[in-house]
Structure 1
Amino acid sequence: MDALFDSIADNIAEHGFAVADKFLSQDELNNILTLDDFKNTANHFKKAGIGKQQGLQINEAIRGDYIKWVDKEASPAPLQVYVSRLESLVQYLNQALFLSLKDFEVHMTVYPIGTFYKRHLDQFKKDDHRKLSVICYLNEGWKEEHGGQLRMYLPEKTADILPVGGRLVCFRSDQIEHEVLPATRERYSITGWILDQYIALKHL
């Protein structure tokens, strides 16, 4: 994993984002997808909102995904594999880029067919603790005609990233606006943020 972590660190330093394939192996990906959460998403996932705490709002004209927060200490073994690897990545980025990253939060995400998330920035106006956004895709056999790209708005161009299974995308939460394009099939991921503070409260 050191070579993969090194590539992620180099690309974040140079471009503000990194794309790393095979962050999860095919077997690790399959084990996550066999969890009951993904087999019965209607019973386990909640409609995602916009904003934070008291200001949280549901607006399907802006985002249409469903989420379930991951308890890092009590999550099932297949998710612990990802949590552990992300912890290792955080430590590596701190050493390589001299960052002060302290914690991270992640949720499982499902985008039903045709849903999207309009252009936005992953940082709240009154809370700047999200430093890096990190997404790991869980989609087997994804093809370009399925759509569902992550579109990042970079200084001189846009970059469209296919949500290929096992692929990790990591980017600066405070700098890169992005959106999720509609897809012709359900789109799965583990989405999260690496923070410069410890998380005090668990998500409900």
Structure 2
Amino acid sequence: MMDETFERIADGLAEHGYAIADLFLSQAEVDAIRNSADFLQEADQFKKAGIGKQNDLQINEAIRGDYIRWLDKNNASVPAKVYLDRLQELIGYINRTLFLSLKDYEVHMTIYPAGTFYKRHLDQFKKDDHRKLSVICYLNDHWQDEHGGQLRMYLDNETKDILPVSGRLVCFRSDQIEHEVLPATRERLSLTGWILDQVADLRHL
């Protein structure tokens, strides 16, 4: 079944530069991640997200209001490892079918408190072009249109709004598709990451 999902993602990337895959995580897998120590017992380790990287990092709540905590594949909880392993399988599939040279990923857990947002931006840094694909998997149960919090992608001739429903994965070109996170009326949870053409080094994030 996951091969069919991987195929849809690869086809979407090849044809449109983005793909949406519902049930990338099952509801049981989402529940396990939400109830794991990563989210529940270590919430105080989430940090205010900034703009930029390393020495250029700046905190600006007028641009983004989320809190993040980076996941390390070597000590992630078992539920989170299920997602990370599936992401690794996706990388292998994309490399075989689209002939890319993707090497690794970096992923953080993300919490957007109600009312917060992330203004329009591009994920690839000006001084660092190793982020090739952006991947977001949502962990929000019973999300409705009226809750807001959509991911808005700016495509060539249109915008596309995507609701952050439970288990849904969105994957898109980090260097091409500008996007933003709209404000929501409730807390919004996700696993947000990037697929890289080099080995990730979390020490520098």
TM-score, normalising length: structure 1 = 0.97
Correspondence list, 1:21-100, <5 A:
21-39=22-40, 42-100=43-101
1:201 and 1:104 map into 2 onto residues whose CA distance is 10
Counterpart residue type for residue 74 of structure 1: N
Name the counterpart of 1:177: 178
Contact 1:63/1:116, CA 8 A, preserved across alignment: yes
Correspondence list, 1:147-158, <5 A:
147-158=148-159
Counterpart residue type for residue 134 of structure 2: S
Counterpart residue type for residue 199 of structure 1: A
The one-character-per-residue Cα deviations of 1:35-84 (angstroms, maximum 9, x if unpaired) are 23423565121000001101100000000000000001110100000000
Which moved further from structure 2: 30-39 or 104-113? 30-39
The one-character-per-residue Cα deviations of 1:123-149 (angstroms, maximum 9, x if unpaired) are 111110000000000000000100000
The 3-state SS of whatever aligns with 1:19 is strand
**Residue 174 of structure 1: how far off its partner (Å):** 0.2
Moved segments of 4+, more than 6 Å: none
**Residue 203 of structure 1: how far off its partner (Å):** 5.2
Is 1:189 the counterpart of 2:190? The answer is yes
Measured on the aligned residues, the alpha-carbon RMSD in Å equals 1.1
The 3-state SS of whatever aligns with 1:4 is helix
Name the counterpart of 2:127: 126
Correspondence list, 1:104-119, <5 A:
104-119=105-120
2:50 and 2:17 map into 1 onto residues whose CA distance is 26
2:77 and 2:14 map into 1 onto residues whose CA distance is 33
Contact 2:72/2:202, CA 8 A, preserved across alignment: no
The 3-state SS of whatever aligns with 1:39 is coil
The one-character-per-residue Cα deviations of 1:89-146 (angstroms, maximum 9, x if unpaired) are 0000000100010010000000000000000000111110000000000000000100
Structure 2: which 5+ runs fail to align?
none
Contact 1:37/1:44, CA 8 A, preserved across alignment: no
1:100 and 1:161 map into 2 onto residues whose CA distance is 28
1:104 and 1:174 map into 2 onto residues whose CA distance is 15
2:204 and 2:163 map into 1 onto residues whose CA distance is 29
1:203 and 1:189 map into 2 onto residues whose CA distance is 22
2:3 and 2:96 map into 1 onto residues whose CA distance is 12
Correspondence list, 1:136-151, <5 A:
136-151=137-152
Between the two proteins, the alignment pairs up a number of residues equal to 204
TM-score, normalising length: structure 2 = 0.97
2:42 and 2:78 map into 1 onto residues whose CA distance is 19
